[in-house]
């Protein structure tokens, strides 16, 4: 069976080709899977998609009509896939249910410390041989409060790092994580967490219930000098409301690895084009905001695990096996 992989990054390609060697042939494309590119998959029984793929009803219909029967997504999140449509069309859908939580947790901390200590501004200055300290003052994390929204594997890893800094830990989730409680985390209401935290990091999945979890009211409940980090899903934050608060001079720093309208923008070079997204264009102008391109997961360790799980998903499909990664089973 030959597999067509969409949205493959240059660093990712050799890992994918090496992992599939001896199992199935794979063709890697750097274009993302959407309604315009879906016809390319005609004749491929299996398709592998990236996190920024658009797999709504129309795209799935094109894939099914072209003979695709398996979609193996190379991510944990699957809010971009219309699972009901996939089931109706007889498509098997699998994802990667686990990869290194440390990759995302460590990057969330990278964002937090970069905005706290004004690293980007300092680096830009020193490249111009400007070695002033004006405007570069940050704060110690030791003794301050870290609020973790979502205390699964990634949230737990983030909390362990926070404990290493000597921070007070507040958590919010639908279920308490005993490992986080052993770290000294106190579970509180979302409102209390927002009001008391100096650093807030988001680690919850994007679902209808969590869409705009951080809305205008939540942002207003936060401290004026709080640091907000999102390395989970862009839709967790109402970006327009965030821009409004930033215009009022609020927040010591905001680190965003994700953006709610990132599809079609992230992972693509738009440097020679006019970006028509006014919200994003305004967002990146704030000196206390750092935006990166959904790269928190992007370590050799995590990507290697993602690729290995994708290979396993394809092999399981071929053998008629079902694992915890299957979202829509083979019929």
Dihedral sign, CA of 96, 233, 283, 274? Answer: positive
- Name the helix (H) or strand (E) containing 308: helix 300-319
Catalytic residue check, 233: yes
- CB of 19 within 8 A of CB of 308? yes
Catalytic residue check, 23: no
274-296 pLDDT per residue, tens: 888 999 999 999 999 999 999 99
Q: How far apart are CA 202 and CA 270, in angstroms?
A: 27
144-193 pLDDT per residue, tens: 999 999 999 999 999 999 999 999 999 999 999 999 999 999 999 999 99
Residue 147, Cβ density class (10 Å: 0-12 exposed, 13-18 middle, ≥19 buried): buried
- CB of 151 within 8 A of CB of 174? no
Residue reference for tokens 């990132």: 262
Residue 313 tokens read as 């998903």
pTM of the model: 0.91
Query: Which residues, 6 or more positions from 107, have their beta carbon under 8 angstroms from its beta carbon?
Result: 231, 257, 295, 296, 297
193-205 pLDDT per residue, tens: 999 999 999 999 9
Query: Active site residue: 118, 203, 233, 250, which one?
Result: 233
N residues, the chain: 331
Residue reference for tokens 């990278």: 110
Query: Active site residue: 95, 203, 250, 294, which one?
Result: 294
Which parts of the chain have pLDDT scores under 70? none
Query: Active site residue: 45, 156, 245, 262, which one?
Result: 262
Catalytic residue check, 294: yes
């Amino acid at each position: 069976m030959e597999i067509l992989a969409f949205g493959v990054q240059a660093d990712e390609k050799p890992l994918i080709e090496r992992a599939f060697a001896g199992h199935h042939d794979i063709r890697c494309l750097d274009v993302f899977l959407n309604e315009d590119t879906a016809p390319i998959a005609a004749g491929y029984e299996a398709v592998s998609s990236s996190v920024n793929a658009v797999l709504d009803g129309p795209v799935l219909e094109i894939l099914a009509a072209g003979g695709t029967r398996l979609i193996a997504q190379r991510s944990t999140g699957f809010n971009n896939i219309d699972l009901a449509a996939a089931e109706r069309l007889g498509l098997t859908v699998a994802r990667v249910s686990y990869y290194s939580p440390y990759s995302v947790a460590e990057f969330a901390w990278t964002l937090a410390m970069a905005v706290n200590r004004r690293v980007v501004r300092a680096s830009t200055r020193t490249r111009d041989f400007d070695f002033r300290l004006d405007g570069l003052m940050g704060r110690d994390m030791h003794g301050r409060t870290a609020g973790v929204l979502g205390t699964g594997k990634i949230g737990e890893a983030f909390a362990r790092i926070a404990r290493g800094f000597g921070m007070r830990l507040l958590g919010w989730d639908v279920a308490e994580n005993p490992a986080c409680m052993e770290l000294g985390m106190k579970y509180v209401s979302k409102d209390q967490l927002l009001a008391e935290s100096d650093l807030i990091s988001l680690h919850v999945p994007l679902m209808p219930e969590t869409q705009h979890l951080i809305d205008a009211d939540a942002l207003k409940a936060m401290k004026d000098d709080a640091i907000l980090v999102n390395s989970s899903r862009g839709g967790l934050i109402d970006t327009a409301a965030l821009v409004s608060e930033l215009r009022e001079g609020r927040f010591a720093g905001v680190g965003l690895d994700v953006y709610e309208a990132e599809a079609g923008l992230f992972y693509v070079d738009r440097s020679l084009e006019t970006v028509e997204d006014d919200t994003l264009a305004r967002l990146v102008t704030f000196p206390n905001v750092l935006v990166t391109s959904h790269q928190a997961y992007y370590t050799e360790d995590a990507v290697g695990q993602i690729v290995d799980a994708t290979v396993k998903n394809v092999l399981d499909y071929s053998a008629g096996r079902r694992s915890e990664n299957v979202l829509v089973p083979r019929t």
